[in-house]
Amino acid sequence: MTKLSININKPALLRNSRGSNFPDIVQIAKDCERFGAQGITVHPRPDERHITYGDISELKKHVRTEYNIEGYPSKAWMDLVLINKPTQATLVPDPPGALTSNAGWDTVKHQSFLSEVLSELKRAKIRSSLFMENDLHQIDKAKQAGADRIELYTGPYAHQYKADKNKAIQPYTQASKHALEIGLALNAGHDLSLDNLKFFKESIPGLLEVSIGHALWIDAIYVGLENAIMMYRRLL
């Protein structure tokens, strides 16, 4: 089974827009789990425009499924992760002002840096994942750096899906097969939705986890949170 991890950045953004604790992010996480989420994902950014650094420790006290913290591994982010010890730390190469994650790691250029960070996570017994594109050489270097998993960046797949889903999925089937052959486990995320998720899941053997935020929260506006979560679960 492929696990559904729900990114709760969007309700945090909604909360922050009014300067209060409504909606309560801890309660949001609890409800997501109660409705069927198998993981909670957060991505604190330097400007704290949605999930704040203070949210991380509060969520740690209450998340009962897998807890996944995403982010660029700055010293502040690494300190946060090492203190709170999530199930998984997903490293993304976002610059500080990035609106959303839209590129994978250059594991050749950043090999030394990533090796050091991943070693630190391994010593802390935190599972690691690198946000990656479909370049096989880059995936080889992710393994060499010491990653436990890679998260395939599915933005290009989502954008091409309606035009030609078979063409859109081809680089991902090749990349996933290669990753599994060299001993990397597989996650995926970015712009996956009720429209394109089922085909992606059926085409990618060994897919352990998808992280979904934006599309699921939009769907929840229309059908309700519990219904939206169960609709995604059924596709997986």
DSSP per residue, 168-218: HHHHHHHHHHHHHHTT-EEEEESS--TTTHHHHHHHSTTEEEEEE-HHHHH
pLDDT at position 35 is: 98
For residue 100, give the DSSP letter. Answer: S
Identify the pLDDT of residue 96.
63
Q: Which amino acid type is present at position 132?
A: M
Check residue 228 and report its DSSP letter: H
Spans of all domains in the chain: 3-235
Mean pLDDT in consecutive groups of 10 residues from the start of the chain, 236 residues: 97 95 97 98 94 97 98 96 98 74 88 98 98 97 98 97 98 98 98 98 97 98 98 97
Q: Taking the model in full, what pTM does it have?
A: 0.95
As annotated, the active-site residues are: 43, 70, 190
Cα Rg of the chain, angstroms: 17
Considering the domain 3-235, what is its CATH architecture?
Answer: Alpha-Beta Barrel (3.20)
pLDDT in tens, 85-134: 999 999 999 866 655 666 899 999 999 999 999 999 999 999 999 999 99
